[in-house]
Amino acid sequence: MKRAFNIQNATKRLNILRSLGSYKRPFKVVGTYRLIDDGIRPEATVILKADGKEMHEAATGVGPVDALANVLKKSLSSMFPVIQGVKLIDYSAKVHDAKSGTSAKVEVSIVFTDGEEIWSVTEISDNINMASFMALLDGFEYAILSKKESE
C-alpha cells in the first residue's frame, strides 16, 4: 500500500507570518534556555511568557534535545493544551562546511505531528543545541497557530 504524506513547511509559513507587521507570537522566551548535560540525564530549564503570565519550568530527557522538547512541552501545555498532543517524529542534524570542524554551522530539521497534520521546521546555528531549541520553538508555535486557524 502506497501512502503519500502532506508535510507542511512550517518554517516557510512562520517566516512569511513574521514578515507581516501585524503578527504577534503566541509566546515569548524570556532570556534563553539553560541546559545541564552530564551525559547521563540532561536537564533543561526555560522561562516563557504568554498572555502576561510567566512560566518557569525544568525537565529532564534522554538527551539534550529531548530535555529541551520536554521542558517546552511542560511549560506551554498549561497555556496551550494543544501542545500535549504534539509529538516529534523525526530529528536530523546536518553539518555545513565540515572543513570548519567544530565551529561549523549545524542545520537541524524536526518533523512534528499532532495526529492529524504533519509539519517540519529547520533552523541553522553554530550550536546544535541552539539550532534544536529554535526548531522546537518554531514547531510548537506552528502547532498553536494551526489549532487557532482550525477553530
Question: Which pLDDT value is given to residue 101?
Answer: 76
Beta bridge partners of 109: 92, 122
Predicted confidence band at 147 (pLDDT cuts at 50, 70, 90)?
Answer: confident
pLDDT digits (tens, 9 = 90+) for 69-109: 999 999 999 999 999 999 999 999 999 887 777 778 999 99
Q: Is residue 101 part of a domain?
A: yes
The packing angle between helices 128-150 and 64-77, to 10°, is: 30
Query: Does residue 19 fall inside a structural domain?
Result: no
**What domain count does the chain have?**
1
Residue 123 forms part of a structural domain? yes
Q: What cell was used for 64?
A: 539534550
Indicate whether 81 belongs to any domain: yes
Flag whether 1 is in a domain. Answer: no
SS3 of residue 9 by DSSP: strand
**DSSP letter, residue 115:** S
Cα of 7 vs its chain's centroid, Å:
16
CATH number of the domain where residue 44 is located: 3.30.160.270
Q: Is residue 124 part of a domain?
A: yes
Q: What is the pLDDT of residue 53?
A: 94
Beta bridge partners of 95: 106
Domain extent, residue 125, equals: 7-13+25-150
Residue 62 sits at φ, ψ, to 5 deg, of -80, -15
